[in-house]
Structure 1
Amino acid sequence: MENIIMPKPYKILNIQKMTDIEYLFRIEYPEAGNVKFGQFMQLSFPKVGECPISVTNFCEKEGWIEFLIRKVGIVTDEIFKLQPGDILPMRGPYGKGFDQIDIKGKKVIIVTGGSGLAPVRSLIHYIDQNPEEVECLELLFGFKDESSILFKDEIVNWRKNHPMILTVDKGCGIDGECVGLVTEYVPQLQLTSDDFNNTEVIIVGPPNMMKYTALEFERLGVPADKIWLSFERKMSCAVGKCGHCRIDEVYVCLDGPVFNYTKAKYLID
């Protein structure tokens, strides 16, 4: 019988610095065709531990997977010591992703805060490369300051094809972008009541950012079942056995991390 929590060894192909604390790891992964937008993997370091990291991009044809990793704990401290060619044990993918959302022919609005851009990056790439799949894609990204803006080159390319608002909490962004929290700019999105039934809103970021952004969309009249959130929570076993990620009767690792707002609004930790 296969051990479902046993990690397997995979080779690191490339490591790219994104910010002072965040690096993009590309890892050889022949099973990339099994990954769905918004899922996560458990990255392991022998004798140290594991940590859940969202998949930020993947390529079935070339056989690789990418993670945006922030140096914030004992496991990621060890991972940051690795170099291309080294082996990183992983297991997964886990969780329910954005494939739950029927985006075909829909107006898709994606709002992210900080590193919350990472879990939706692969979905944005897919829509950008297959624009006929949706009615339109509108983007609203928020970052702390200019130095924390992720995937700058990709953002420049995305904004050529899709309406975008890029905001920073302070200072200035790319080309003197907006200043302020993303919640302040939700009313500026190209959204009318006629669009609500044909719209899907995806929100990813820190808990308070997601809470108040979702409330802002509700205030504008967007139905709760048209809003989706991706939870960031400490997953340990990732298979619903340890209870570390449990909120009431919900196991985030199994029932999420992507939840419809009709359920997510009641998941109070």
Structure 2
Amino acid sequence: MVKNSYIPFKAKILAKYQQTELDWTYRLECQIQPIAGQFMEVSLPGVGECPISISDFGDGYIEMTIRRVGQVTGGIDKLVPGDYLFLRGPYGKGFPLESFYNKHLIIAAGGTGLAPVKSVINYFYARPELLQRCDILTGFKTPNDVLFKHDLDKWAQTFRVEVTVDKLDESGNLEVIANSCSRRTGLITALIPDVEIPSLEDVRVIIVGPPVMMKFTAQEFLCRGLAKENIWVSFERKMSCGLGKCGHCKIDETYVCLEGPVFNFAQAQTLLD
């Protein structure tokens, strides 16, 4: 029997962890083996479907961090462990992990852009000998918008982790972010001049976040002398079918769901809406 790629499969919610007021991480029972950076099409019968990045995965499960922003995600927000989601995928191209071996890896993630790279960080956190070093730069709107606080603390035991917020909330307290990380206020681009880069040839950069953030963050790294070919970005688009048929995610002649969402910046810089 030929498998119909449009038919989703059921995935049981094993656990649900709150990240912020709007963001929850769902651990789903699932046997797929994705590549870090891929995404799933997630649906609720009678409600709709939306693309969600895979934030982590392991033996018999995947995790997705989902923000309550619309009808579908609002319906997902009401679910509890034991309920089911319906999934299609995984889709798209992920991060070329082997390209980062024995390199100085710098990851710059803005807001929910930290979710698609969480599995990359965990991969190298479990195998730090594969990298020369790793710098993790993260930016959020306020301290209350920070994702994966416990993970940031954990990663900071092995890697250099910097967390910045655009502004303080009413508490005015940066201590709620993460105990082991360097914390400050300001845009993520302000963190880049302080990153030590002993050898430009050995640096590889991943940038994920809103389009404006990725644009100016990439420019900062280019100003420091990095080659475009050594920078990767991930596009957040409305991938509808995930199979390159509907055209919702198309930019010029490029289908983001097929050729992305992860792109080398040498190609990504030409993808303009």
Scaled by the length of structure 2, the TM-score of the pair is 0.94
Find the counterpart in structure 1 of residue 190 from structure 2.
184
Match of 1:250 in 2: 254
Q: Deviations over 1:6-31 (max 9, x none)?
A: 10011000111110000011100122
Unaligned segments of structure 1, at least 5 residues: none
Identify the match of residue 234 of structure 2 among 230, 246, 254: 230
Q: For residue 266 of structure 1, what is the aligned residue in structure 2?
A: 270
Structure 1 residues 101 and 258, CA gap change in structure 2 (3 angstroms): farther
Q: Distance in 2 between matches of 1:220 and 1:46?
A: 49
Following TM superposition, by how much is the alpha carbon of 1:99 offset from its aligned partner in structure 2, in angstroms?
Answer: 2.5
Moved more, 96-105 or 246-255: 96-105
CA distance in 2, matches of 1:232, 1:58: 20
Matches within 5 A, 1:19-98: 19-31=20-32, 34-60=33-59, 63-98=60-95
Whole-angstrom CA distance in 2 between matches of 1:95 and 1:259 = 10
Q: C-alpha separation between the residues in 1 aligned to 2:150 and 2:4?
A: 40
SS for the counterpart of 2:86 is strand
CA shift, 1:184, in A, is 1.1
What is the CA distance between 1:166 and its match in structure 2? 1.1
Per-residue CA deviation, residues 117-158 of structure 1 (Å, 9 max, x unaligned), is 000001101101101111111111111111011111110111
Deviation string, structure 1 residues 192-214 (Cα, Å, up to 9, x no partner): 4xx22211100000110000000
Q: Structure 2 vs 1, CA of residues 67 and 43 (structure 1 numbering), >3 Å: closer, same or farther?
A: same
**Counterpart AA for 2:249:** C
Alignment partner of 2:150 out of 149, 153, 157:
153
Structure 2 counterparts to residues 192-203 of structure 1, below 5 A: 192=198, 195-203=199-207
Could you tell me how far 1:161 is from its partner in structure 2? Answer: 1.0
Give the match's secondary structure for 1:41: strand
The one-letter code matched in structure 2 to 1:155 is L
Q: Which residue of 2 aligns with 1:4?
A: 5
Which digits, 9 at most, give the CA deviation of each residue in 1:33-73, with x for residues without a partner?
Answer: x211000000011122110000000002xx11100000111
Alignment of 1:76-225 (within 5 A): 76-99=73-96, 102-171=99-168, 172-173=173-174, 174=177, 177-192=183-198, 195-225=199-229
State, as a whole percentage, how many aligned pairs show the same letter.
47
CA distance in 2, matches of 1:198, 1:189: 14
Question: C-alpha displacement at 1:80, in angstroms?
Answer: 1.3
Deviates more, 1:208-217 or 1:42-51: 42-51
Find the residue that maps to 1:203 and give its secondary structure: strand
SS at match of 2:99: coil
CA–CA separation in structure 2 for the residues paired with 1:268 and 1:30: 36
